[in-house]
């Protein structure tokens, strides 16, 4: 084991020295804790209604693998160009990086990937199951219907989509103004989805009679009719000619029939997204919009960002005033408003209001009135049934067993009415129908449970189709589980926007493109919570060289012959993609081996 160095200059040198390998010393036998690769769930993906694998999307983006990143979105959401613009971003509210410096601009990244795919006319290569001997009808080509058709097609079903409007898209096409979602972007995205292989029939209004007529042709019908009728104000003068419905007003503008307001004062009644969109649209058409809302600004159901941009652009807001009556007078309207006060302001909930006492009113003279105080189904049969025998009430959809099976989705079946919830609804219905047809009704709920993302309600199609994401642990990674020693502070890439002055004078999209360089920089900030991005820390920090890298696949494994179970790899994993657990006692280890044999 030792070697005396015979030296050129005769100075004695006796250094312990061995050429024998130490591999015979299997230090793995000392182990009582066992590390293993254990990918977990990022909080953003658990919060995403569509269950997108966001940590992985950012990882691929950071490496410049834009097509792969885009395809990773498409596994769970067919509408990244639309969602990348109008999603409420529940994911960003859960980002662990917010506790470090600033959260990741996830929506900005999604939009970047969708735009990049569109620009280079990329075609996704996604898994599609072999065709099933069943046919599905989808009523309504809004986000829910399109998602349902997309996922059902990928599960192998033949699909026919019926849409009453001249163009598909539903609320995306006719409800959301172009400055938030340009029509060209939407058309390209829908064209891309149609490439999955379903049939789309536009200007095909579905009536109750038509529904009965097609019953025998389809095994299931997905109903994503959406809310297309404005809720009434129930005040005097509401029916007077010229009082316009908010959604119909937006639809008219989106069809290209924009009126001009020439500096006219326009009252918009309501506090939801439709009201805010209508007010901002009025502004762009030259009018002076005034939002009249019966509660306070913080109670408005519209997205906070949209409200603040509206106010910044010059929309006026009148809080705690409720309309009493509308009178048409010589081409003008006299609006009588009643002052309200809050009576119950529990935090986290909309305040309850009632008229002040004694009654205080004011009169408002305006040239136009737009009401947008809520939406409902255009026809009663479009609403899902209440709980009863044969009805499965799911998170974002309702399944009614029968022949054909009816699946209600979209805004009429979801508690939260957003585009990403509509996508979630289409996906949930598609999976539920597939389970129902293959395994029977009793398996629907347990089957859905197996493809949940983390602890939330969102579902993963990739998990349902037994993709690699199946192996993911459902544990949602917390900030305290991130080893921030391996991250540096980095400023968030700000979403570039049109200037206020540019915004108010046109319907040009407000949010601007970001460059590929900026997108990669932003994606690189992502902690990739719970996911291995092959940073190699486990291998570099292992004192026993017991982490082995497979140069072919780039993956890593642990050589348990030498792993002493010190746990350094688990601690130094920046993103909690490893776990350390108690080693099974030797006795049961032998049992396990025997079991295997």
Cβ distance 291 to 316 under 8 Å? yes
Q: Angle CA(388)–CA(391)–CA(397) in degrees, nearest 5? A: 130
For other proteins, give the closer residue by CB, 14 or 262.
Answer: 14
Shortest Cβ 539–other proteins spacing (Å)? 17
Sign of CA dihedral 43, 127, 421, 88: positive
For other proteins, give the closer residue by CB, 325 or 564.
Answer: 564
CA nearest neighbour of 243 among 337, 366, 338: 366
Shortest Cβ 277–other proteins spacing (Å)? 56
Phi, psi of 64 (to 5 degrees): 80, 10
Tokens linked to 488 = 């540096």
* Matching residue, tokens 């312990």: 16
Shortest Cβ 10–other proteins spacing (Å)? 8
Shortest Cβ 1–other proteins spacing (Å)? 7
Shortest Cβ 7–other proteins spacing (Å)? 6
d(CA 187, CA 381): 29
Shortest Cβ 482–other proteins spacing (Å)? 22
Contact positions toward other proteins, by CB under 8 A? 1-2, 5, 7, 9, 11-19, 22
Shortest Cβ 5–other proteins spacing (Å)? 6
d(CA 412, CA 379): 11
Shortest Cβ 22–other proteins spacing (Å)? 7
For other proteins, give the closer residue by CB, 5 or 590.
Answer: 5
d(CA 313, CA 506): 12
Burial 104-134 (b: 16+ CB within 10 A, else e): bbbbbbbbbbbbbbbeeeeebeeeeeeebeb
d(CA 434, CA 504): 47
For other proteins, give the closer residue by CB, 21 or 388.
Answer: 21
Cα 441 to Cα 25, 434, 437, 448, distances in angstroms:
56, 10, 8, 12
CA nearest neighbour of 115 among 82, 77, 91: 82
Burial, 166: exposed, middle or buried (Cβ in 10 Å; 0-12, 13-18, 19+)? exposed
d(CA 96, CA 274): 32
d(CA 522, CA 497): 17
For other proteins, give the closer residue by CB, 511 or 559.
Answer: 559
CA atoms within 13 A on the CB side of 136: 33
Shortest Cβ 486–other proteins spacing (Å)? 16
For other proteins, give the closer residue by CB, 7 or 386.
Answer: 7
* Residue 597: count of CB within 10 angstroms of its CB: 5
d(CA 252, CA 259): 9
For other proteins, give the closer residue by CB, 21 or 216.
Answer: 21
Tokens linked to 273 = 């997204």
Cα 125 to Cα 5, 56, 72, 76, distances in angstroms:
64, 17, 10, 14
For other proteins, give the closer residue by CB, 26 or 500.
Answer: 26
Shortest Cβ 537–other proteins spacing (Å)? 17
For other proteins, give the closer residue by CB, 19 or 262.
Answer: 19
For other proteins, give the closer residue by CB, 16 or 331.
Answer: 16
Shortest Cβ 24–other proteins spacing (Å)? 13
Output DSSP code: residue 581.
E
For other proteins, give the closer residue by CB, 15 or 343.
Answer: 15
CA atoms within 13 A on the CB side of 265: 12
Rg of the chain on CA atoms, in Å: 29
Shortest Cβ 20–other proteins spacing (Å)? 8
Cβ distance 70 to 125 under 8 Å? no
Q: Helix, strand, or coil here: 241?
A: coil
* Matching residue, tokens 């410049």: 64
d(CA 252, CA 83): 23
For other proteins, give the closer residue by CB, 21 or 480.
Answer: 21
For other proteins, give the closer residue by CB, 12 or 241.
Answer: 12
For other proteins, give the closer residue by CB, 17 or 497.
Answer: 17
Tokens linked to 205 = 């209004």
Shortest Cβ 92–other proteins spacing (Å)? 36
For other proteins, give the closer residue by CB, 5 or 123.
Answer: 5
Burial, 480: exposed, middle or buried (Cβ in 10 Å; 0-12, 13-18, 19+)? exposed
Shortest Cβ 578–other proteins spacing (Å)? 24
> Cis peptide before 392, with omega less than 30 degrees from 0?
no
Shortest Cβ 6–other proteins spacing (Å)? 10
């Amino acid at each position: 084991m030792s070697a005396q160095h015979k030296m050129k200059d005769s100075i004695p040198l006796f250094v312990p020295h061995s050429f024998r390998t130490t591999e015979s010393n299997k230090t793995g036998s000392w182990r009582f804790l066992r590390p293993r690769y254990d990918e977990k769930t990022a909080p953003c993906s658990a919060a995403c209604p569509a269950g997108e694998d966001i940590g992985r999307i950012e990882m691929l983006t950071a490496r410049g693998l834009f097509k792969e990143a885009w395809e990773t979105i498409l596994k769970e959401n067919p509408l990244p160009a639309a969602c990348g613009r109008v999603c409420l971003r529940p994911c960003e509210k859960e980002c662990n990086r917010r506790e470090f410096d600033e959260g990741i601009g996830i929506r900005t990244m999604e939009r970047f990937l969708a735009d990049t795919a569109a620009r280079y006319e990329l075609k996704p290569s996604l898994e599609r199951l072999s065709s099933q001997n069943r046919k599905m009808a989808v009523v309504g080509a809004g986000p829910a219907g399109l998602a349902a058709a997309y996922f059902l097609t990928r599960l192998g079903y033949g699909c026919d989509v019926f849409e009453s409007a001249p163009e598909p898209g539903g609320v995306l096409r006719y409800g959301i103004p172009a400055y938030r979602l340009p029509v060209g972007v939407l058309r390209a995205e829908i064209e891309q989805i149609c490439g999955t292989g379903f049939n789309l029939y536009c200007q095909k209004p579905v009536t109750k009679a038509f529904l009965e007529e097609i019953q025998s042709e389809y095994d299931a019908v997905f109903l994503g009719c959406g809310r297309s009728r404005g809720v009434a104000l129930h005040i005097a003068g509401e029916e007077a000619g010229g009082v316009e419905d908010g959604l119909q007003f937006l639809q008219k503008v989106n069809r290209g029939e924009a009126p001009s307001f020439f500096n006219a004062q326009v009252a918009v009644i309501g506090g939801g997204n439709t009201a805010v969109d209508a007010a901002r649209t009025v502004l762009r058409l030259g009018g002076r919009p005034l939002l009249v809302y019966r509660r306070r600004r913080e109670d408005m159901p519209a997205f906070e960002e949209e409200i603040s941009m509206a106010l910044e652009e010059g929309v006026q807001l009148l809080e705690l005033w409720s309309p009493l009556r509308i009178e048409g007078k010589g081409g003008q309207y006299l609006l009588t408003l009643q002052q309200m006060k809050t009576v119950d302001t529990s935090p986290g909930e909309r305040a309850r209001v009632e008229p002040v006492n004694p009654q205080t009113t004011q009169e408002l003279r305006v040239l136009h009135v737009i009401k947008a105080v809520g939406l409902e189904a255009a026809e009663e049969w479009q609403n899902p049934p209440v709980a009863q025998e044969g009805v499965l009430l799911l998170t974002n959809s309702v399944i009614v067993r029968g022949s054909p099976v009816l699946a209600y989705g979209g805004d009429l079946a979801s508690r939260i009415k957003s585009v990403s919830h509509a996508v979630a609804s289409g996906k949930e219905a598609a999976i539920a129908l597939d389970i129902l047809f293959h395994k029977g009704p009793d398996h629907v709920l347990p089957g859905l449970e197996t493809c949940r993302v983390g602890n939330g309600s969102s579902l993963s199609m990739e998990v349902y189709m037994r993709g690699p994401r199946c192996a993911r642990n459902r544990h949602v990674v917390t900030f305290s589980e991130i080893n921030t020693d391996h991250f540096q502070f980095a400023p968030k890439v700000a979403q570039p926007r049109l200037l206020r002055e540019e915004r108010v004078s046109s319907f040009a999209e407000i949010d601007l493109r970001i460059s590929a360089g900026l997108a990669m920089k932003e994606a690189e900030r992502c902690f990739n919570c719970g996911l291995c991005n092959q940073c190699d820390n486990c291998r570099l920090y292992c004192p026993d060289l017991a982490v082995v890298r497979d140069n072919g696949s780039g993956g890593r494994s642990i050589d348990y012959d030498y792993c002493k179970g010190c746990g350094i790899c688990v601690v130094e994993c920046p993103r909690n993609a490893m776990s350390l657990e108690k080693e099974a006692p030797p006795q049961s280890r032998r049992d396990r081996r025997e079991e295997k044999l």
